[in-house]
């Protein structure tokens, strides 16, 4: 397209200012990513909490000890967080989990999710 010289300069300046913001934006996104990654301390705190509040049913290794209790080991961290928040808010209901989740703080939920996500699992698909 052909623009009068003034317009072209204006457009170039706009493009340049947008480009100048990009590095800042990517640094900011990187930092947000780092902040969301759980630390070894979170994982350890999650383990301690799991020992007292969860292991009876879910096992400390996240392998359920009782029928009808789901395994938690290797579960995606954000999935576990969403489920625990849902039990706590009443969005998801279960006679036991709804009561247990009431006593969990936001930090407990993050730590517990970090603990169970940190457990490595191996999967073997059966032959046909």
Under rule CB under 6 A, which residues in 51-80 are in contact with ligand HEC? 53-54, 56-58, 68-70, 72, 80
| Closest residue to bound ligand HEC by CB | 54
For residues 15 and 109, what is the distance between their CA atoms, to the nearest angstrom? Answer: 44
Under rule CB under 6 A, which residues in 76-115 are in contact with ligand HEC? 80, 83-84, 94, 96-97, 100, 104, 112
Supply the minimum distance, in Å, between the C-beta of residue 107 and ligand HEC: 13
Judged by CB, which is closer to ligand HEC: 6, or 112?
112
Where residue 19 falls (left for φ over 0; alpha for ψ -120 to 50; beta otherwise) is alpha
Please identify, among the stretches 6-14, 35-43, 50-58, 120-128, the one whose residues bind ligand HEC according to the rule CB under 6 A: 50-58
Task: At 121, list the tokens.
Answer: 């699992």
Residue with tokens 């010289």: 5
SS3 95: coil
117 in contact with ligand HEC (CB under 6 A): no
For residues 9 and 5, what is the distance between their CA atoms, to the nearest angstrom? Answer: 6
- Kindly report the CA angle at 90 between 112 and 33, in degrees rounded to 5? 40
Query: Contact residues for ligand HEC (CB under 6 A)?
Result: 53-54, 56-58, 68-70, 72, 80, 83-84, 94, 96-97, 100, 104, 112
């Amino acid at each position: 397209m052909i623009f009068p010289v003034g317009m072209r300069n204006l457009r170039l300046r706009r493009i340049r200012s947008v480009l100048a913001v990009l590095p800042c934006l990517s640094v900011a996104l990187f930092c947000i990513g780092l902040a969301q990654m759980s630390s070894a301390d979170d994982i350890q705190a999650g383990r301690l909490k799991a020992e007292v509040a969860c292991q009876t049913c879910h096992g400390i290794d996240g392998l359920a000890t009782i029928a009808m209790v789901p395994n938690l080991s290797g579960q995606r961290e954000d999935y576990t967080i969403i489920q625990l928040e849902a039990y706590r808010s009443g969005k998801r209901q279960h006679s036991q989990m709804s009561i247990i989740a009431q006593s969990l703080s936001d930090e407990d939920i993050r730590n517990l999710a970090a603990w169970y996500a940190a457990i490595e699992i191996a999967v073997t698909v059966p032959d046909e």
